[in-house]
Structure 1
Amino acid sequence: MALIDDLKSAQKDAMRAKDKLRLGTVRMALAAIRQREIDEQVTMTDPDILAVLTKMVKQRQDAAAQYDNANRDDLAQTERAEITVLESFLPQPLSNEELTSLIDDALASTGASGMQDMGKVMGVLKPQVQGRADMGALSAQIKQRLG
């Protein structure tokens, strides 16, 4: 439960520093985590929290792109600032070499030979790369290798 403790600590630090953006973003993340705990009636583990934070980052990236298209740079900048705060709680992203190595290992361990094995490969890789790689890009790389 170290990640939830980090978030709560960051919330206190942001309050002390009077950093409104960071405080609001951390509170939003904690609220999303609490909401999921209530909805699913479970205690969130670190991988679950990573999934929530990753989803929040993706939502903000989509929103920033939409704001850019609508020429609302002020709102896009706010979304990007929130992305920066959220990413500070995510593990370091995997390099291309590390990702390629993990894909090679997953393909070898599952014995994947074609597109019908895509689910097996993704099942092996998802826990290893959660929060550290874009799942869409990962999926595209696997499809390229299997296709």
Structure 2
Amino acid sequence: MLQNKDSFKSTTLRSVLAEIQAADKAAPQQKASSSSIVSIIRKATQKRNEAAEQFSQSNRPDLAEKEKKEVELLSSFLPALLSESEIDRFLKEVMDTEVDVGENPRKAAGKIYKAFYMKVDKSLVDPDLVKRRAEALLIGHK
């Protein structure tokens, strides 16, 4: 079997593996879960997206392109995020069955998030989208 040496891919993957190993060392009694590994990869892609944007603003298209390629590579290892309609379905289920929304909306929101994340793995959603959708559903639920 011939090995194709791709230093770009190996360097990118090694940097993420180092972050995963650091997470393992931070809590040696338990290995990083698949959920935490997905979160680490998502954070790595987010960092690279932000770096690409900064390089573009600094008129460094070569470095921006490198970061974008790394994002593309790392994204290939990530599961798809839940869609807005799927998030809404889980939030409505929680609001209808587990949380009394008639009480203080701030307290209800905290309980909704807690119940939502008990049902849905945090690494499978965009937390900002969950927050926006929960707020919209709370306003519409009144």
Give the TM-score category using the shorter length. Answer: 0.7 to 0.9
Matched, 1:30 2:17: yes
C-alpha distance in 1, partners of 2:116/2:49?
Answer: 23
C-alpha distance in 2, partners of 1:18/1:88?
Answer: 19
The aligned counterpart of 1:126 is 117
- Give, as a single letter, the amino acid of the residue that structure 1 aligns with 2:127: M
The alignment's TM-score, normalised by the length of structure 2, stands at: 0.79
Among 74, 85, 97, which residue is 2:62 paired with?
74
- Give, as a single letter, the amino acid of the residue that structure 2 aligns with 1:142: A
C-alpha distance in 2, partners of 1:82/1:109?
Answer: 42
Among 51, 54, 61, which residue is 2:42 paired with?
54
Kept in 1, the 8 Å contact 2:35–2:121? The answer is: no
Kept in 2, the 8 Å contact 1:37–1:44? The answer is: yes
Q: CA deviation at 1:55?
A: 1.5
Would you tell me which structure has more helix in proportion to its own residues? 1
The aligned counterpart of 2:131 is 139
C-alpha distance in 2, partners of 1:124/1:70?
Answer: 43
CA 1:40–1:74: 2 relative to 1, 3 Å: same
C-alpha distance in 2, partners of 1:109/1:73?
Answer: 51
Q: Which has the larger radius of gyration?
A: 2
Q: CA deviation at 1:86?
A: 1.4
Q: CA deviation at 1:112?
A: 4.8
Gaps of 5+ in 1: 1-14
**Percent identical:** 24
C-alpha distance in 2, partners of 1:74/1:98?
Answer: 38
The aligned counterpart of 1:18 is 5
- Bigger shift: residues 41-50 or 29-38: 41-50
2:123 is paired with a residue whose SS is coil
CA RMSD of aligned residues (A): 2.2
1:16 is paired with a residue whose SS is coil
How many equivalent pairs are there?
Answer: 133
C-alpha distance in 2, partners of 1:57/1:117?
Answer: 32
Gaps of 5+ in 2: none
Kept in 1, the 8 Å contact 2:51–2:67? The answer is: yes
C-alpha distance in 2, partners of 1:81/1:45?
Answer: 26
C-alpha distance in 2, partners of 1:81/1:57?
Answer: 10
The alignment's TM-score, normalised by the length of structure 1, stands at: 0.77
Kept in 2, the 8 Å contact 1:90–1:131? The answer is: no
